[in-house]
Structure 1
Amino acid sequence: MMASLWVRRLLTSCDGIGNKLVRAASSFDSVMKPLEGFKPTPSFKITVVGSGQVGTAVAAFLLARNLTKNLVIHDVKYDLATSEALDFSHASAFLGNPIVRACGDGNRTKNSDVIIITAGARPSGKTRSRLDVMHKTVEILKSVVPKLAKLSPKAVFIVICNPADVMTFAVQRIGNLEKHRCFTTGCHLDTARFRYLIAKRLKVPTSDVKGYVIGEHGSTAVPVWSSVTVGGIRLSDIVKDLGTAKDAEKWSDLVDGILNAGVHVSKAKGYTNWAVGLTTSDVVACMLQNTGKVCCVGTDVKGLYCLKDSVVLSVPCRVTANGISHIMELPLTEDEHKNLLKSADTLLSAQCSLKW
């Protein structure tokens, strides 16, 4: 208890936000002469909700890539969030001198530009099924999202708690958020794995491979083989029956490495965090660059791909500083479109089971 109190006091004495530095008075103040009329510009502020393995990985990559100088780690376990914030603060000289603060009640998240939600329930003990975890996570979201949305009315929300697609749907509804500013990283990571595995097989750089995995960020995700190009050459023009059961080269064998990669990692570690953290930081970097880069992220795609219901699916989207500006409608083969509709049905079923 005493150690926890010491951590809080030490962090507060070193803390700050933008133009206001919270610290003990010092005789050095006598040589710091403020200029009349100066008004500081608020720095780009990010809040990470959750200080578990995923939240900490997200925070680490945001700081390491210098994507923010003002980071808040929000967790109801305030002592844990405080310790993580202090741990990062000790290395501030190596990170470009960011301000990293902890928050337990949500108040320090005010006026965030981006809010990244990693908090959620994990399968353990009696909570074993995906649905049980989903319902418990929704209860957590209902307790935090309304206040976050009120304190940061212009923030873009990025949802990465599982199941990511369904939880994004939930956050949009709970926070009454427009779909352009509430999305999940979704299949951005699956797409990266897809390109990596193809590149590895062909012995070319991953950057030379283009293609997407769309749909659910999970077992019903759809590799779009018809979109794959290598060095500008459409792979389906070279490989007959690419990715199908008739494919003599068995390209479809790569699918397990795409869809179940997280499962394989979790079996040994008990969780996944580094790839998710890197994926999230990449999407945030795209927002900061504001070039409109196309990323395979997930939001409500009602009205596209022949979908008549509101359902969160990952498809190529143009990501800007204010969120998603455009959703791209990929030309799909008949089989790919059927598989996408199956993926949508799976997610719709889960969405309909949510308890509001």
Structure 2
Amino acid sequence: MKVSVIGTGHVGSTLAFVLTLKNLVKELVLVGKTRESAMGDVLDLRHGQLFVNTPTQVSAGTLADSAGSDIIAMCASVPTPKDMNSRLELAKGNVKLMRELMPELARLSPDCKVVMVSNPVDVLVHYALECTDLRPNQVVGTGTLVDSSRFRQLLAEELRIHSGDIRAYILGEHGDSQFPAMSCADAGGEPLDPTPARYALADQASKAGFEVFKYKGHTNYAVALAAAEIIECIITDAKHTLPVSLQVDGFLGVSDVCLSLPAVIGGNGIERVLHPRLNKREEGEFLHSAEVVRQVVASARTD
């Protein structure tokens, strides 16, 4: 199994580290701005191979070295402004970057699965599909997977139940218009009431990334673990249900943008898109998310 990580900043290097720990990948190629820019991570990871069960062949490369990848993790991004207030501020620069990188990556690995990590992830999943011949099932964004994890962790503290036993999704945009799907949230089959306190937890979860950003200037651990979870599901054909960014397949009449919905992730990438039963409030929030992302996609196209 060959995985190429494109972009070796905080997230890309952390993802590479997590993948070596999981003993899943036979060949791992790190692609930075230059081959030399990735060598520090490559050497550091090689030096730690004694301490993992199944050593990974780690190398630094260029786009050409990604040829024949089974999975491409896209972590490349323009620099993040120190005063950034919205991930959408990265749209113009990162859409341009995707237009430069994705056609060649797809040409070199036409059967690959792309895990989009860069932001704004919903917009970039859209452009990754638009500027390549990849099929919708081949491109999956981390989307609201991290937001849902944050929400479940907060709910777990309130309920005193392990977060893995809670089914609660944040859906829509990985951004300000995301929303908790409380109408289908439960623990052990017991519905979780949509109380004001739980909506407050969802709001706290939506802002958590920027809280981390405020303290350390970037986020890397949670999103790298989320991306690694998607990659592991693809490699092992696990068929886990994850809230990820994907091309919406007509749910609530939406088919022209990419947003997060629960999806079955396996060897074929996105194996099935699930349609949760949302209430009227949540349906409106999903449609609002679609409009927010649709406008950014359009503005990026005209720039």
Q: Which TM-score band applies after superposition, normalised by the shorter structure?
A: over 0.9
Of 173, 177, 183, which residue of structure 1 is paired with 2:134?
177
User: Deviation of residue 122 (structure 1)?
Assistant: 2.4
Measured at CA, do residues 325 and 55 of structure 1 come closer, stay the same or move farther in structure 2, by a change above 3 Å? same
- Which sections of structure 1, spanning at least 5 residues, go unmatched? 1-43, 237-241
Matched, 1:318 2:264: yes
Q: Which one has a larger percent helix, Structure 1 or Structure 2?
A: 2
Q: Quote the Cα distance in structure 2 between the aligned partners of 1:339 and 1:127.
A: 24
Matched, 1:283 2:230: yes
Matched, 1:110 2:56: no
- Which sections of structure 2, spanning at least 5 residues, go unmatched? none
User: Deviation of residue 284 (structure 1)?
Assistant: 1.1
Matches within 5 A, 1:152-191: 152-191=109-148
**C-alpha contact (below 8 Å) 1:194/1:213 kept by paired residues:** yes
Q: Deviations over 1:76-102 (max 9, x none)?
A: 232121221111111122232211010
Q: Percent identity?
A: 30
Q: Quote the Cα distance in structure 2 between the aligned partners of 1:128 and 1:218.
A: 10
Specify the alignment match of 2:166 in structure 1.
209
User: Deviation of residue 123 (structure 1)?
Assistant: 3.0
Query: 3-state DSSP class of the match of 2:181?
Result: strand
Q: Deviations over 1:182-231 (max 9, x none)?
A: 11011111111121111110111112211211100111111011111122
Instruction: Supply the AA of the counterpart residue of 1:98.
Output: T
User: Deviation of residue 232 (structure 1)?
Assistant: 1.8
Measured at CA, do residues 76 and 193 of structure 1 come closer, stay the same or move farther in structure 2, by a change above 3 Å? same
Specify the alignment match of 1:331 in structure 2.
277
User: Deviation of residue 126 (structure 1)?
Assistant: 11
Specify the alignment match of 1:346 in structure 2.
292
Specify the alignment match of 1:89 in structure 2.
46
Q: Quote the Cα distance in structure 2 between the aligned partners of 1:340 and 1:129.
A: 19
Q: Deviations over 1:139-190 (max 9, x none)?
A: 2222221111111110000111010110111111122321110110111111
Q: Deviations over 1:309-333 (max 9, x none)?
A: 4110100001111111110110000
Aligned length: 301
Query: 3-state DSSP class of the match of 2:278?
Result: coil
Q: Quote the Cα distance in structure 1 between the aligned partners of 2:208 and 2:295.
A: 24
Instruction: Supply the AA of the counterpart residue of 2:248.
Output: V
Q: Structure 1-normalised TM-score?
A: 0.81
User: Deviation of residue 131 (structure 1)?
Assistant: 5.2
Instruction: Supply the AA of the counterpart residue of 2:276.
Output: L
Q: Quote the Cα distance in structure 1 between the aligned partners of 2:92 and 2:85.
A: 12
Q: Higher Cα Rg: structure 1 or 2?
A: 1
Q: Quote the Cα distance in structure 2 between the aligned partners of 1:161 and 1:199.
A: 28
Q: Structure 2-normalised TM-score?
A: 0.94
Measured at CA, do residues 204 and 128 of structure 1 come closer, stay the same or move farther in structure 2, by a change above 3 Å? closer
